[in-house]
Structure 1
Amino acid sequence: MVRRFFVVVAAVVAAAALLTAPAQATGRGGYLALGDSVAFGYRPNAGADYLNAANFRGYAENYAALRGLRLANASCPGETTGSMLTPGAPSNGCENGYRLAFPLHASYPGTQVAYAVDYLRAHPDTRLVTLTIGANDMFLCQRTTPDQCTGASFDAALAQVSRNLEATLAAVRGHYRGDLVLVSYYSLDYRDQAQVKQVKALDAALAKVTRRYHGRIADGFTAFRLASLRAGGDPCAAGLLIKLPAGGCDVHPSAAGHLALTAALALAAH
């Protein structure tokens, strides 16, 4: 574990250099990023920044610059495994919110999966597809179930997430045989064992489906845990989550948090 920690730290330091370096050449192939607000690089309370998607930068942009890949980031804040697959499926603020008011990194009229299929057909030089999805399904479950997604409803939501992800990856693999990487979720507080247990269960379910489709896992959970050790397992205190003006942290990664996810992706991708 100690050795892995220093490998992750080294990758983070290497990735940090790209934030101040000029963009590299983009002749090395395409990179398609799919998912939710984490993949999007979303920041809350961003004001006028919402009007230009280029103001949002996360692990996908970091990794594309690091490897010199041409990025198409189709992610949408609030996307669920259902809404990225099926028109009209419930989201947590993507189709019925963010997409109506603000631009995405990539413009498309239908679902993320439909865009992904079209992109992969049109770009046979695509070298990497990444995905971060599923947390918004659980947030919806928390808000809409009597047990607030702590009992049987959690298991049911997890099963639905797995089914939706399987359909998504089947569609992707129908047109793509290259590197496929799931960037797993992190805990908001590694000292909270109940919350950690739920995140680990979600990550495990997502990883199981991803491996079935010959994908690899970028271990965002461990990257955040190791990077938050200096703060006793608190990612907020460690600066990995976006600070809120009134105190505490939002659920989204800060620039440092995205560097940790970039490092995890660098370790998983070829």
Structure 2
Amino acid sequence: MSKYARWCISTLMALVLLAGVAPAQAVAGEQRYYLSLGDSLAFGFQRAKAEAGLPPAAFTTGYSDLLAARLGHGRRALSLVNYGCPGESTTTYISGACPWQAAGLPLHDTYAGPQQDAADAFLRANRGRVDVVTLSLWGNDANAFVASCNGNVQCIIEGAPAAIAAVAANLSNTLTSIRRAAPDADVVVLGGYDANLGAFPLTHPIIRQLNLAMADVAAANRARFADPFPIFNPDGDTGATLCALTLICSQGDGHPSDAGYRALADLLHQQLTAR
């Protein structure tokens, strides 16, 4: 049973035991946190908003904000700290710098240096008070790998195993770091979906293998794995679901639509409340 699920149950039991008894005064507890880490998905990115020059406060339909609204410790909501960086890869997460900040663009919550260092510093400064950590890192690694092949299918097929192994190695480094700083937090890694409409026969198997590798790394570090692939790319679907859950068909943007971000928030919440 996850830490978050245990809190839900203990809170419910307390409410039952105290039914009909009005407390004399509310007890103010210390602030507790949900830390969202990773790339543009953690940020809640949608290209049209970015092209319109909107500030981070306009990017509030992402899974981080939606999930934060559903999380709490007892009766108190968790405070969201969102370090999500559009353009972040598993490599830049570790070594920096955040591509979005390097381009002079603002984040939800600003930090200096690599995101991994910022996450470690926050977790250590708030040790025992960060209840939930989510992590999304894979898409920019995949994009860079495909671009390196210049559309050569054989290059993609032959190079995929090494590219997946590199992502898994970096992810292992990252989760080990998170676990050292926050041994008791509930950690959920968000996997990948396939937005390569029209290339599914080639790309589906690669994304599935990537998700298997990330799931193994998550399990080795006592983290849960949330797999969006069956939701965004259900068996036999040639793209209708992907078009509904991303902006790929309407705007040429593979990031989730509002409906897609809601689906990701639901998936992450299911992992946090699963026994």
Deviation, 1:194, is 2.1
Q: What's 1:195 paired with? A: 203
The answer to whether residue 46 in structure 2 is matched with residue 43 in structure 1 is yes
Deviations 1:106-156 (A, max 9, x none): 101111100100110112210011111012111111112364651332211
Distance 1:190 1:213, change over 3 A: farther
The answer to whether residue 212 in structure 2 is matched with residue 208 in structure 1 is no
With the length of structure 1 as denominator, give the TM-score of the two structures. 0.78
Alignment of structure 1 residues 133-148 onto 2, 5 Å:
133-145=137-149, 147=152
Alignment of structure 1 residues 1-270 onto 2, 5 Å:
29-46=32-49, 50-57=53-60, 58-67=62-71, 68-87=77-96, 94-95=98-99, 97=100, 99-124=102-127, 125-145=129-149, 147=152, 150-177=156-183, 178-188=185-195, 189=197, 192-225=200-233, 233-237=239-243, 239-242=244-247, 247=250, 249-270=252-273
Deviations 1:34-64 (A, max 9, x none): 1111111111132576452111121111000
Distance 1:202 1:99, change over 3 A: same
Deviation, 1:27, is 6.9
Deviating beyond 3 angstroms after TM superposition, the runs of 4 or more aligned structure 1 residues are: 47-51, 145-149
Unpaired runs of at least 5, structure 2: 1-28, 72-76
CA distance in 1, matches of 2:132, 2:156: 35
Deviation, 1:193, is 2.8
Amino acid in the other structure paired with 2:82: N
Identity of aligned residues (%): 31
Report how many residues are paired.
235
CA distance in 2, matches of 1:111, 1:69: 24
Deviation, 1:162, is 1.0
Q: Secondary structure at the match of 2:261?
A: helix
Q: Secondary structure at the match of 2:253?
A: strand
CA distance in 2, matches of 1:202, 1:35: 17
Amino acid in the other structure paired with 1:187: D
CA distance in 2, matches of 1:122, 1:190: 47
Q: Secondary structure at the match of 1:102?
A: coil
CA distance in 2, matches of 1:127, 1:181: 11
Deviation, 1:180, is 0.7
Distance 1:263 1:248, change over 3 A: same
Unpaired runs of at least 5, structure 1: 1-25, 89-93
CA distance in 1, matches of 2:31, 2:266: 20
CA distance in 2, matches of 1:28, 1:165: 29
Distance 1:48 1:216, change over 3 A: same
Distance 1:72 1:195, change over 3 A: same
Distance 1:47 1:182, change over 3 A: closer
Larger CA Rg, structure 1 vs 2:
2
Q: CA RMSD in A?
A: 2.7
Q: Is the 8 A contact 1:241 1:249 kept in 2?
A: no
Amino acid in the other structure paired with 1:199: I
Amino acid in the other structure paired with 2:258: A
Deviation, 1:187, is 2.2
CA distance in 1, matches of 2:263, 2:245: 8
Deviations 1:162-216 (A, max 9, x none): 1111111111111112111011112225992322111111111111111100111
